[in-house]
Chains A and B, each alone.
Chain A
Amino acid sequence: MRNRPFVEKLGYVPRSEVFMLAAADQKQFMSASLVWKVLSYFGGLYEKTTRRIYTPPDYEGMKSMIQSAIKLDPYNLDAYYFAQAVLVWDMKQVSAANELLEYGMKYRFWDWYLPFFAGFNAGYFLKDYETAAKYYKRVGDLTGNELSIKLAGRYMYEAGQTDMAIAYLTAMEQGAQNSAIKNSFKIRLDAFKGVKLIESARDEYVKKSGKKPASVDMLLKKGFLKELPVDPYGGTFYLDEKGHVRSTSKFAFAGQKQ
């Protein structure tokens, strides 16, 4: 029982309407405080996972606080950024994240980050390329960024999912100023770079031999891979029956325990 994992709670979160009325002229401050509270909690969880201590996170509490923070201050970029990091990657609530991002785009109409996040979510997770292209077009219009313009067109259909994830995670990691968030993106980025290396080796093998490789070890033995990439989440890379690169960690520190 001593080692039984416990759910560390964020505490009671009143409805956003209550916050709105009670905050008076301190709405932006209250919003920033809620984001800070969630971020501190997340930072604590991250610190535990790096020490291989697994605590079930209070995802619903985090989601509720972030939603309240956005209601209080719909311009708060930190809130959207955190929602993108947690709702999408950890909670797999991609549609909920995109609803928040859509809401934010009405206010932060000049900001390319929000359609960039939403475009990635639509293309990578939801496989809704038409919607993704719409978002990436908006990013391209706002920034003139070449990748976004390409992603908005046919490239969206041709691009490998891993390339898209690497482009996205690189931008996220570079822009992050909080060390816990930055490290969490860096680890994920390193994992995807490992996946990309194996995918390139697999494609090269298929091109030369005309058949799928049986395993990652085979790619290593036959010289298509110079060395075995390390999964920063502590797992081992393998090829599933369809030839997709997977990891035993499921790209999460808790993955191996599940």
Chain B
Amino acid sequence: MFGIAAITIKGVFRDKVFRGILMTALAFFVIPSISSLSMRQVTALSMTLSLSLISFILLLLSIFLGGTSLWKDMDRRYTISVLSLPVTRTSYVIGKFLGLAGFTLLTTLLLGAVAFVVIWYVANVYPPDSPIALVNFLFAVIFDAQKYILLIACAFLFSTVSTSFFLPIFGSISIFFVGSATQQVYDYVTSPAGDAFSPLFHKVVTLLYYVLPNFSVFDLKVNAIYGVALSLSGLSLVSGYFLIYTALLLTISSIIFSRREIQ
């Protein structure tokens, strides 16, 4: 399983998609000059842009690598060769996932380090009113990685039921937008403004809220950018949610993949 994970990481580094997406990271170099256009919060804007860029790169990586990894292996008949070795299908799926998750974590830490250098430089040129919330920044970056690892798990689930890359890619994009909005929709429907909706609609929204992944809980950008205090108990809950939800998705993916006919 760990051998598959290591091979997956190596494969990703050789992947042209990865190299293409990483070119986007060149945008870090223009962040200081764009941030200087802010009227009152230059450092905060540099952090906004840096964290947004990290999220955007991770989104592209998780959709295009997470959504195509299993499919490519099956398309090239690499999966059959691997499964002819003493490797179970479950180990194969989990190994591939761990490889991509490890790669995402590595990329996040690297991008986080580059972002920190950019923010530190901007803060030196335009000293902010309050110091940079470094711990919050670190948490924001790590929780961003958790979010996109969860998205990779979703992409894996789609890959196990699909024979092409359409469902994994477009399914992941859809689940990302839906999962980012569920909290807002739920809050609105359960607020006094939502009384106008029927009880059935309330039940459907509540059911979807609990079933679909909630990506907005991983978003700690506001805490990092504006130094808003973090709740440790809240962070623990989110991490627990990440572990349980990812484990559930991988379990379902493994079951489906184990029963799947592979040619």
Contact = CB atoms under 8 A, between A and B. Distances in A.
A and B found bound together: yes
Interface of A: 20-22, 24-29, 32, 36, 39, 73, 75-78, 81-82, 108, 113, 175-178, 181
Contacts of B228: 75
Interface string B221-239: 1100110100000000000
A29 B49 contact: yes
Nearest to B144: A25
A42 to B, nearest CB: 10
A155 to B, nearest CB: 26
Nearest to A181: B39
A28 B216 contact: no
A120 B89 CA distance: 69
B45 A32 contact: yes
Given A20-B184, A25-B147, A177 B39 contact: yes
B180 interface: yes
B40 A175 contact: yes
B176 A24 contact: yes
A78 B144 CA distance: 25
Nearest to B184: A20
Contact of A39 (B39, B48, B219): B39
Interface string B42-62: 101100110110011000000
B222 A26 contact: no
A177 B177 contact: no
Nearest to B219: A25
Nearest to B35: A32
Contacts of A36: 37
A26 B49 CA distance: 9
B225 A75 contact: yes
A28 B177 CA distance: 16
Contacts of A77: 39-41, 44
Given A39-B37, A78-B39, A25 B180 contact: yes
